[in-house]
Amino acid sequence: MTQDDDIKTLDTQPDLGRRKFLGTTALVGLSGAGLSLGLSACNKESVPTEAAPGAKGEVAAHSPYEVAPGKLDTYYMFSSAGHAGDVRVFGLPSGREFKRIPVFNTDCMVGWGITNESKAIIGTNPDGSVKYDTGDTHHLHPSYTDGTYDGKYLFVNDKINCRLARVRLDTMECDRITQLPNIQGFHGTFPDKRDPVDSSINHTTRVFCGAEFSIPLPNFGKGIDDTAHYRSLFSCIDAESMEVRWQVLIDGNCELVATSYDGKLAATTQYNTEMATKYEEMMSLEWDTCLFFNVARIEQAVKDGKFKTYGDSKVPVVDGTRSANADPKTALTCYVPIPKNPHGVNASPDGKYYACAGKLSPSGSLIAHELVLKWFDGELDEPRKAVVAEPELGLGPLHTAFDGRGNAYTTLFLDSQVVKWNIDGAIKAYQGDKDATVVVERFDVHYQPGHGFTSMGETRECDGKFLVSDNKFSKDRFLPVGPLHPETSQLIDISGDKMVLVHDNPVSSEPHDSIIVRRDIIKTRQIYNVDDFPHAVKDFKDSGVFRNGNKVTVKLVSQAPAFSLREFRVKKGDEVTIILTNLDKVEDLTHGFAIQRHNINFIVNPQETKSVTFKVDRPGIYWCYCTHFCHALHMEMRSRMIVEA
């Protein structure tokens, strides 16, 4: 069966008959807990025969959402892992976890942070050690072409050490990491969807990054007590080169980031327009803002040399503060007032609106893209007039997702709900129509949701099938595992009139944001090209020990079930570099390489080359062995490092 066939099967699986059957027996009217119990406990005996006439003995009472053995999921879900520092890959609707992609963390399975190649991506100190071995990923978004995912890259932030990483989606491995200058607390990030000026560029070329924390500029010990002059910058990174292109000095801070479908605007919510350093003061104003950036004007200002730089950084910084941008016709930025300490901002898939979640205000603010552009053209007198709806949603609105049918789904942290509201209804109500339906449904989730996100929901191909509520607390939903509980990722079917809870998945702490990508978009590569690695050892006869003073290079190849050298000799005090090429060409035939008592552990995938460099200072023999199960003779797949005195 091809992937496409399989997608169709899966899509048509919950056909009306089956759906109705399950709907009347199991899905409707049960609480979420009852539902998941009911489904997982189903077996042939428990199928109510009256509800499935003739089906007895033929139909296992599987949920229509079940991905049966041998079947593939319909979607990928990519999740940030929070302060675990990695990115995770799941399948939906099953919720099964397939892979963890190390990014800002150290990963001993892959050897991330251990191999020279990964260290070069992470960045090293002069002594060769990695500069940072921790990170906090919050937001991840793939590259776009034509307003939808193109399967090329995934960009993910690190809030702790102010870095943006890029993951290649063909190998699902991190290939670049860039540190942003002049900022702290890099939180929101979003790629652009096309170029604001050149209409032939309909794909991602920039990634925008918001800084949540403000600091003195430059930050080298002066101005520490002058908190009124602490600043945040909004940054733009080139998606290909991963160089920082420019930054914008702003008033207030940045929180989440969104981009328009026409490439003209980037937006960030701001909860600290007070520019305070203490939390009480950050809540002192009733109004904060959603701040818009006019990308074309900013880049023109950079071209015209209207920028400065801070400290050692060469990155041009343009002035986006309120006072410098009073004239809309030349303004780089537009500050749209919205209620108190907003959190998420999400662009609707039709490209018309930005939905901001109120957080400390029980409301959402809907801002019209067209009206912000009008303000920049000098045709709208007040930025606030770009707000076209401000529905009351409930307590603690955080993030909003869409179904492509005119509805928005906002997570309510305090109410532990997802609230479904109608965009047109909210606009009509804001215009004074008392009969307009705004809130369509309130749906309890378990418990305290952070992000909610829908299948393809941040693209023009938003399909309105599934919503996942990533909840911060799971309390009683799973077997207890000690003081730290997993979080719950709840899959909800939003394709019908009513939301239906499909299942709970425990997720290890602490995913924040995720995206759900149709699987046909992702095209992975199963085997490397040996020529992609400049140091590849392409033949058994090229392996050996090569000495240059006290620097020794050991060239090795692996081919199941052996390493090319059964032993190799080095001397006490040497700096040893081991280069290992896996010459196996069979899909999934990965080998590992670990050295006893030397803290070395990494894998090489088929046709891949990796290297490690370390000091040997204790004479003796040290077994090297294959860590990754590869062959019936996997245990025998060894070599001996002999360190001579």
Q: Which residues bind ligand K7E (CB under 6 A)?
A: 138-139, 187, 343, 398-399, 450-451, 512-513
DSSP 8-state symbol, 410 = E
Q: Backbone phi, then psi, for 150, in 5-degree steps? A: -105, 0
> What's the distance, Cα to Cα, between the start and end of the chain in Å?
60
Q: Which is nearer to ligand CUA, 491 or 626 (CB)?
A: 626
Q: How buried is residue 3: exposed, middle or buried, by Cβ count under 10 Å (0-12/13-18/19+)?
A: exposed
**At CA 570, angle to CA 568 and CA 573, rounded to 5?**
155
Residue 470 makes contact with Ca ion by CB under 5 A: no
How many Å apart are CA 79 and CA 86, to the nearest integer? 9
**Residue nearest to ligand K7E according to CB distances in the complex:** 450
> Interface with ligand CUA by CB under 6 A: which range of 309-317, 421-429, 495-503, 631-639?
631-639
Closest distance to ligand CUA from the beta carbon of 458 (Å): 41
The option from Ca ion, ligand CUA, ligand K7E, none interacting with 420 (CB < 5 to 8 A, set by class) reads none
Closest distance to ligand CUA from the beta carbon of 525 (Å): 21
- The number of residues in the chain equals 645
Residue 442 makes contact with ligand CUA by CB under 6 A: no
Q: Which is nearer to ligand K7E, 67 or 156 (CB)?
A: 156
The option from ligand CUA, ligand K7E, Ca ion, none interacting with 629 (CB < 5 to 8 A, set by class) reads ligand CUA
Closest distance to ligand K7E from the beta carbon of 451 (Å): 5
Closest distance to Ca ion from the beta carbon of 271 (Å): 5
Closest distance to ligand K7E from the beta carbon of 514 (Å): 10
Rg (CA), the chain: 27
Closest distance to ligand CUA from the beta carbon of 542 (Å): 19
Strand-pair category, 287-294 with 265-270: antiparallel
Q: Backbone phi, then psi, for 65, in 5-degree steps? A: -90, -10
DSSP 304-360: TT--B--TT----EEE--TGGG-STTT-SEEEEEEESS---EEE-TTSSEEEEE-TT
Closest distance to ligand CUA from the beta carbon of 633 (Å): 8
With CB under 6 A as the rule, give the number of residues binding ligand CUA: 9
Find the binder of Ca ion among 116, 148, 268, 341 (CB under 5 A).
341
How many Å apart are CA 508 and CA 577, to the nearest integer? 35
Residue 365 one-letter amino acid:
S
Stretch 550-609 residues interacting with Ca ion (CB under 5 A):
none
Find the binder of ligand CUA among 630, 639, 641, 643 (CB under 6 A).
630
Find the binder of ligand CUA among 71, 306, 634, 638 (CB under 6 A).
634
How many Å apart are CA 403 and CA 38, to the nearest integer? 28
Q: Are 474 and 448 in contact (CB under 8 A)?
A: no
Site string for ligand CUA, 518-557 (x = CB under 6 A): ----------------------------------------
**Contacts for 404 with CB less than 8 Å, ≥ 6 apart:** 349, 350, 457, 462, 463, 464
Residue 269 makes contact with Ca ion by CB under 5 A: no
> Interface with Ca ion by CB under 5 A: which range of 83-91, 242-250, 291-299, 336-344?
336-344
Stretch 591-610 residues interacting with ligand CUA (CB under 6 A):
591
Q: Which is nearer to ligand CUA, 334 or 554 (CB)?
A: 554
Q: Which is nearer to ligand K7E, 396 or 425 (CB)?
A: 396
How many Å apart are CA 512 and CA 343, to the nearest integer? 13
How many Å apart are CA 149 and CA 169, to the nearest integer? 11
Residue 19 makes contact with ligand CUA by CB under 6 A: no
User: Which stretches of the chain bind ligand CUA, using CB under 6 A?
Assistant: 560, 591, 626, 628-631, 634, 637
User: Which stretches of the chain bind Ca ion, using CB under 5 A?
Assistant: 271, 288, 341
